[in-house]
Amino acid sequence: MTAGKRSLTTAAVALVCAVTVLGAPGMAHASQARPNPTPSPSTRASTEELEAVRKRLDRLYHDAAVATDAYNAAEEKTEKQSAEIVELARDIVKGKEKLEKLKDLMGAAARAQYRGGGLPPEVRLWLSENPQDFLDSAGRVRQGQHASNGVLAEMERTQQDLELYAKDASAQWKKLEANRKARAEAKKEIKKRIAAAEELESQLEQEERERLAELEERAARKAQTAWLGSGVLDEISGKASEEGKKAVKFATDQIGKPYEWGAEGPRTYDCSGLTSQAWASAGQGIPRTSQEQWKRLHRVDIKDMRPGDLIIYNADASHVAMYIGDGAIVHSPRPGRTVTIAGAGSMPILGVVRPDA
Taking residues 321-334, what's their average pLDDT? 95
Query: Measured over all CA atoms, what is the biggest interatomic distance in the chain, rounded to whole angstroms?
Result: 125
Question: How far apart, in Å, are the Cα atoms of 131 and each of 145, 160, 254, 283?
Answer: 21, 44, 88, 72
Nearest CA among 249, 246, 217 for reference residue 337: 217
Confidence of residue 97 (pLDDT cuts 50, 70, 90): confident
335's CB contacts (< 8 A; 6+ apart) are: 61, 64, 194, 197, 198, 259, 260, 261
| Rounded CA separation 282/294 (Å) | 19
**Would the CATH topology of 1-204 be identical to that of 234-354?**
no
Residue 225: the pLDDT is: 93
Taking residues 344-350, what's their average pLDDT? 95
Average pLDDT for the chain: 78
Residue 148: the pLDDT is: 58
pTM, 2 dp: 0.62
Nearest CA among 303, 312, 305, 298 for reference residue 355: 298
Least trusted range by pLDDT, from 50-59, 302-311, 323-332: 50-59
Give 71 or 41, the one with higher predicted confidence: 71
Pairing relation of β-strands 319-325 and 298-300? unpaired
Name residue 321's beta-bridge partners: 311
Give 211 or 148, the one with higher predicted confidence: 211
Give the H or E element holding residue 332.
Answer: none
Q: What is the pLDDT of residues 289-299, one digit of tens each?
A: 999 999 999 99
Residue 25: the pLDDT is: 33
Taking residues 298-306, what's their average pLDDT? 95
Handedness of CA 329, 51, 336, 190 (dihedral sign): positive
| Rounded CA separation 75/81 (Å) | 10
Nearest CA among 317, 314, 319 for reference residue 348: 314
**Helix locations, the chain, DSSP H:** 8-21, 27-33, 47-116, 121-127, 131-202, 206-229, 232-235, 242-253, 271-281, 290-296
Residues, the chain: 357
Least trusted range by pLDDT, from 8-12, 49-53, 272-276, 318-322: 8-12
Taking residues 204-215, what's their average pLDDT? 87
DSSP designation for 314? T
Q: Is 189 left (phi over 0), alpha (psi -120 to 50) or beta?
A: alpha
186's CB contacts (< 8 A; 6+ apart) are: 67, 68, 70, 71, 74
| Rounded CA separation 109/149 (Å) | 10
Taking residues 165-191, what's their average pLDDT? 81
Does the structural domain 1-204 have CATH classification 1.10.287?
yes
- Phi and psi at residue 12, in whole multiples of 5°? -65, -35
Confidence of residue 19 (pLDDT cuts 50, 70, 90): very low
Nearest CA among 147, 3, 164 for reference residue 88: 164
CB-CB contact of 349 with 299 (8 Å): no
Pairing relation of β-strands 349-354 and 340-343? unpaired
193's CB contacts (< 8 A; 6+ apart) are: 22, 60, 61, 63, 64, 67
Residue 123: the pLDDT is: 44
State yes or no: pLDDT of 37 exceeds 70. no
Helix (H/G/I), strand (E/B), else coil: 357: coil
In Å, how far from its chain's centre is CA 354? 18
In the chain, where are the structural domains located?
A: 1-204, 234-354
Give 337 or 101, the one with higher predicted confidence: 337
CATH class for the domain made up of 234-354? alpha beta
Residue percentage of the chain with pLDDT more than 90: 35
Residue 351: the pLDDT is: 96
